[in-house]
Chains A and B, each alone.
Chain A
Amino acid sequence: MTTEERTNGYKSGSNLEKVLRAGHFAVTGELGPPQNADPEHILEKAKLLVGAVDAVNITDNQTAVVRMSSIASGVLAIGEGLEPIVQMTCRDRNRLAIQADLLGAHALGMRNLLCLTGDHNVFGNHPTAKNVHDLDSVQLIRMVKDLRDEGKFQCGDDIKGARPAFFIGAASNPFGDPFEYRPYRLAKKVAAGVDFIQTQLIYDIPRFREFMQKVVEMGLHEKVHIMAGVGPLKSSGMARYMRDQVPGMIVQDEYVDRMKAAIAGIPKEEKDARRDAWRQMGIQICIEQIQEIREIEGVAGVHIMAVEWEAAVQPIVEGAGMLPRPAVE
């Protein structure tokens, strides 16, 4: 029996795959595991996201800082009724470790996998660590596809028994350089067998539109579900930081200015009032961005990154008119 027969014609049978294949505008969120062993942390965040998203990314030692493992956190999320998208970077594991973890992840009920290069370890809390990069993200995608569709390990050996079947995701940064190469890099991921793409956070919508135009010209949007990355700004300081400090990020001054204007007239001492005003504006901008992005040809959904602000996701999804989330059988 092929994997598709076992999963009713689906590649993995995940909720995200079903929603996207049914043609719904999909919504995913993000959940960062704690830097400790406390399951409550995951359970609390999961509660904020259930029903608001179709699936949730669970980061893998995000920003190269040690956290609870993505797969272990995913088990906890499933327990709360939240479908995980396991993130897997090439930074910390070689091909043996990745495949071993994928066998385990499938056995534990994970069905979505996001294949990433990984932030460089010099940024994290173990900058003296040895990094791995045995594979790159394109090679990882192909390996995961071969595990699922060919029933073969990367070395070529047959998997005797159940195959790990994942709906395969990858990232794309429309704003990285060289800009002209970005659509081709995406094409490579498509050729390697990726099923869905989540983009880097988008604040520069005109440039994203330019990127998508090329993607549509190349016909890539018909081969892969492209989800646009969005995220609410928390404060004008964060807007400035994202604009000036984060590699691969372009934030237009307009957003920095609107965030600044949100607290006009509120005295500095009224911290709560300022925070609320900022957050309200952040959510409002995010809703507007989703509405604008939704109109761009080739965009199949949004990936909402509300880092350490999971409570923002529900009002954003609701504000953008994307509730209730579809149930596809």
Chain B
Amino acid sequence: MIVGEQKPLDEIMDLLGEARKVLVAGCGTCVTVCFAGGEKEVGILASELRMKSKLGGHPMEVDEVTVQRQCEWEYIDPLAERLDDYDVILSLACGIGVQAMNEHFPDAITMPGLNTTFLGLPEEQGVWEERCQACGDCVLGITGGICPVARCSKQLLNGPCGGSQNGVCEIDPDVPCAWQLIWERAEKLGTVEKLLEIQPPKDWSTSRDGGPRKIVREDLRLADAE
């Protein structure tokens, strides 16, 4: 899932600026699951904004809404009629949701209330870790299902650097060395041989390095969209 984290309140206040009427808009999918931008967080942040603005002498009127998915037109369409009432929409969706709102409702101003951090999973209650960089050319089949692009600090494709010690990465003792994990898994699966083959330079053009990406599935398009 997409994992996000709420921006500091002061930064959010700066983004809201002179706005007096604000709609805090949550998203019911990924950011709800990671406790960053769902209905509950919308409620808490809205209260904080009311209190903070009141204490600052310029009280804001803050309303709340949460849609099932802020990244799909059909889910945000129903917001259309109420947006005129607000100076700023504060989205607690990921960066995709924020952009969907701005794109779909160009007359309204939608600001980000979260930092979209990574594609990952909850390692345990309250701990999320990155697992995927969406590089567009998956190598998990070679590395035993552990991604060196997302999880090795140097995105190495041919084994660990010299900074791997006691199973952790040189950058931080809390970061496991991806190549230690890959090696242990290969030993377990009996696929060590695969790790001895040289992996050629990666084609990064399928990643962000090739420019913004797009998928067109002609088999799924509607006739009148072509």
Say whether A and B bind each other.
yes
A-to-B contact residues, CB < 8 Å: 90-91, 95, 117-120, 122-123, 131, 133-139, 142-143, 154, 171-173, 176-178, 180-181, 184-185, 187-188, 191-192, 200, 247-248
Q: Cα distance A120–B153 when bound, in Å? A: 8
**Interface check B86, CB cutoff 8 A:** no
Q: Cα distance A181–B163 when bound, in Å? A: 13
Task: Report B-chain residues with C-beta under 8 Å of the C-beta of A142.
Answer: 198, 200
Closest chain A CB from B192 CB (angstroms): 8
Closest chain A CB from B139 CB (angstroms): 12
Task: Report B-chain residues with C-beta under 8 Å of the C-beta of A191.
Answer: 198
Nearest chain-B residue to A118 (Cβ)? B154
Task: Report B-chain residues with C-beta under 8 Å of the C-beta of A181.
Answer: 159-160, 179, 183, 195
Contact pattern, B 171-208, Cβ under 8 Å of A = 1, otherwise 0: 10000010110011001000010011011111010000
Beta-carbon contact of B170 and A120 below 8 Å: yes
- List CB contacts (< 8 Å) of B120-157 with chain A: 153-157
Beta-carbon contact of A247 and B165 below 8 Å: yes
Q: How many residues from B make CB contacts under 8 Å with A?
A: 32
27 A-B contacts (beta carbon < 8 Å): A90-B154, A117-B156, A119-B170, A120-B154, A120-B163, A131-B154, A134-B202, A136-B155, A136-B156, A137-B158, A138-B159, A138-B198, A139-B157, A139-B199, A139-B201, A143-B201, A172-B162, A173-B162, A176-B160, A177-B160, A177-B167, A177-B177, A178-B180, A185-B158, A188-B196, A248-B163, A248-B164
Nearest chain-A residue to B184 (Cβ)? A178
Q: Cα distance A185–B163 when bound, in Å? A: 14
Beta-carbon contact of A176 and B198 below 8 Å: no
Partner of A247, one of B170, B192, B204: B170
Beta-carbon contact of B158 and A136 below 8 Å: yes
Nearest chain-B residue to A191 (Cβ)? B198
Central interface residue in A133, A135, A176, A191, by most chain B CB within 10 Å: A176
Closest chain A CB from B196 CB (angstroms): 6
The 10 closest A-B pairs by CB, nearest first: A173-B162, A247-B170, A138-B158, A136-B156, A185-B159, A117-B161, A247-B163, A178-B183, A133-B155, A248-B162
Having A139-B199, A176-B160, A248-B165, one finds 19 other A-B pairs with CB under 8 Å, namely A95-B201, A117-B154, A134-B201, A134-B202, A134-B204, A138-B159, A138-B199, A173-B161, A176-B163, A177-B167, A178-B164, A178-B184, A181-B159, A181-B160, A181-B195, A187-B196, A188-B158, A188-B198, A247-B162
Q: Cα distance A172–B160 when bound, in Å? A: 11
Beta-carbon contact of A136 and B196 below 8 Å: no
Partner of A178, one of B153, B160, B161, B201: B160
Central interface residue in B157, B163, B180, B202, by most chain A CB within 10 Å: B163
Beta-carbon contact of B154 and A154 below 8 Å: no
Q: Cα distance A187–B192 when bound, in Å? A: 13
Closest chain B CB from A193 CB (angstroms): 10
Closest chain B CB from A133 CB (angstroms): 5
Beta-carbon contact of A188 and B159 below 8 Å: yes
Beta-carbon contact of A177 and B164 below 8 Å: yes
Beta-carbon contact of B154 and A91 below 8 Å: yes
Nearest chain-B residue to A89 (Cβ)? B154
Closest chain A CB from B210 CB (angstroms): 13
Task: Report A-chain residues with C-beta under 8 Å of the C-beta of B195.
Answer: 181, 184
Nearest chain-B residue to A173 (Cβ)? B162
Q: Cα distance A135–B201 when bound, in Å? A: 6
Task: Report A-chain residues with C-beta under 8 Å of the C-beta of B170.
Answer: 119-120, 123, 247-248
Beta-carbon contact of B158 and A139 below 8 Å: yes
Partner of A133, one of B156, B162, B164, B180: B156
Q: Cα distance A200–B170 when bound, in Å? A: 15
Closest chain B CB from A63 CB (angstroms): 11
